[in-house]
Amino acid sequence: MPIRDFLLRLLGITRTIQAWHAALLALDQGRREKLAGYADEIAATFARAAQAFAVLEHQPSDAAARRDAVRELGRISGYLEDILVVLASALDGRKIAGLKRRLARLGIPIPASLAPGVPLSTRSPSRLETLLDAEGYFRALADGLRA
């Protein structure tokens, strides 16, 4: 899957979870704090992935930046699965099933365009913006759950 499609799907998942904000506020304080912690970690992970992609835009052959991007994107998937566990009893089965399908469509492991030896496009202006948008959604979610 091209990296752009992968990132857009990630952004779609973040928007979906953000749209459930009202339902999440009905959770007990302990679960809300747990979700807020995950949201903080996901936001920080998106920020680190954005840094790696910024390096790759200027130095496409930077192996360390490519590894960092792969590592961070893989970490996000794990955090999203942890969020599913917390939400399983709070949201209806249809919403949980939809989120599970979206996670499955991400195609973890990381998209082929980040595989070693596969050149990244020279310009993908939406890549960084997509990661930063996703970071913002999760920062807002964390703040909202703590309010």
* pLDDT tens, position by position, 53-74: 888 888 888 889 888 988 888 7
* CA distances, 16 to each of 22, 47, 52, 103 (Å): 12, 19, 25, 12
Higher pLDDT, 109 or 45: 45
What global pTM score does this model have? 0.74
Render pLDDT for 76-87 as a digit per residue (tens, 0 to 9). Answer: 777 877 777 777
In contact, 57 and 123? CB cutoff 8 Å = yes
The CA angle 119-68-122, to the nearest 5 degrees, is 30
At residue 106, the pLDDT reads: 63
In contact, 80 and 41? CB cutoff 8 Å = no
Share the mean pLDDT of the chain: 76
Give me the percent of the chain exceeding a pLDDT of 90.
5
- Other Cβ atoms within 10 Å of 122 Cβ, number: 7
Dihedral pair phi/psi, residue 68, rounded to 5°: -60, -45
In the predicted structure, residue 109 carries a pLDDT above the cut 50: no
- The kind and range of the H/E element at 95 are helix 93-105
Give me the percent of the chain exceeding a pLDDT of 70.
80
Q: Is 77 helix (H, G, I), strand (E, B) or coil?
A: helix
Residue with tokens 């835009």: 57
